[in-house]
Amino acid sequence: QPADDHDFSRISVEVTEIPAPDASTTCSDLSLGERIEKGEIIVQLSNALEISEVDYLVESALKAADEQEEEGLTCPGDGGFQGRARMPTLRAAQREKCLHNALPKALSDKMEQALVRILAYIDLHLPSIATTLLHTEGPPARSAVDLFLKDLLDYNKREPAINVYTSGGHFGIHADLKALTLLFPLSTSGVDFEGGGGTAFWPPVSLEKAKETDPTLVLVPPPGSVLLFGGVVPHKGLAIEKGTRLVFVASFLRKPRLRRWPNGTYTRTYN
Ligand SMILES: O=C(O)CCC(=O)C(=O)O
Ligand SMILES: [Fe+2]
């Protein structure tokens, strides 16, 4: 059990296959980590956050968005994001040398605490995700939590972040292209937002192909959950008609280091 006092025994794990149109029944001997890597499955952890934590994240993020609007800071529109605000943690903003839309320290700390908790859960209960996707066996070997604490994770631009969507807000179809994405839905369908919402998924085909077809899976997990999926999985934050939808997202990989040998060849090692 990590320093965090969240009770891991409350967390449950559910594996959902992303249906592929060719319906080749996946009778797979692969580990969870390998199946995530291939884009075969989405893993959902339920009760990963307390409702009080979700409430804090939502209230603080909406307050930050209000303050940013008052200061006239408009969202720079990262990639396919269309919404009210996409706000990085303070550390993520500092890393990009752009404090634009950065979240306050107290909120950033809570987001990082949630992230570390999930990494600790992965280290302890989902080891194939740690070894396959985060190369925790090295060399040198480091736990997923250690990779976070020693700044050995490489994140997508301006992540970890909280996305705030209002009416019409969505995130266009894309793949995160890192090893692992953690997506924490923070809003409840039918209560906080109506008419759409949730995250749509396609099997690991090209984005052009995915854009021509309907998603084969839509998940709308309750707040407190976290979805884990691979960087090859095309997905989309579905538009909502009414209300507000927030998600907390982080996509990352273990920072690789290319080692050049005297004969001119390269091998990938880890710091
Ligand atoms: O809003 C969502 O469900 C998806 C967000 C997303 O894919 C991202 O931020 O990379
Ligand atoms: Fe994404």
ipTM above 0.95, yes or no: yes
Q: Is 106 helix (H, G, I), strand (E, B) or coil?
A: helix
**Strand ranges in 40-90 using DSSP code E only, listed in sequence order:** 41-46, 81-82, 85-88
Give me the number of domains the chain comprises: 1
* Average predicted confidence (pLDDT) for the chain: 93
Number of C-alpha atoms within 13 angstroms, CB side, residue 250?
A: 21
Residue span of the structural domain in which 184 resides: 8-259
**What pLDDT score does 157 carry?**
93
Tens-digit pLDDT profile for residues 108-131? 999 999 999 999 999 999 999 999
CA atoms of 162 and 90, how far apart (whole Å):
12
pLDDT recorded at residue 74: 67
* Top mutation candidate among 177, 247, 251 for ligand 1, by most atoms within 8 Å of CB: 247
Is 191 contained in some domain? Answer: yes
| Inside any domain, residue 13 | yes
* Distance from Cα 236 to the centre of ligand 1, integer Å: 6
Give pLDDT tens digits for 135-189: 999 889 999 999 999 999 999 999 999 999 999 999 999 999 999 999 999 999 9
Mean pLDDT, residues 91-112 = 94
Cα of 185 from ligand 1 centre, angstroms? 9
Is residue 267 very low, low, confident or very high in pLDDT (cuts 50, 70, 90)?
confident
Whether 249 is in the pocket of ligand 1, judged by its Cβ within 6 Å, is yes
For residue 75, name the pLDDT band (cuts at 50, 70, 90). low
Which ligand sits closest to the CA of 247? 1
DSSP 60: H
Question: Among the listed ranges 1-15, 91-105, 235-249, which one has the minimum average pLDDT value?
Answer: 1-15
At 127, which CATH number?
2.60.120.620
Residue of 78, 81, 171, 188 with the most ligand 1 atoms within 8 Å of its CB, for mutation: 171
194 falls within a domain: yes
Q: Say if CB 173 and CB 236 are below 8 A apart.
A: yes
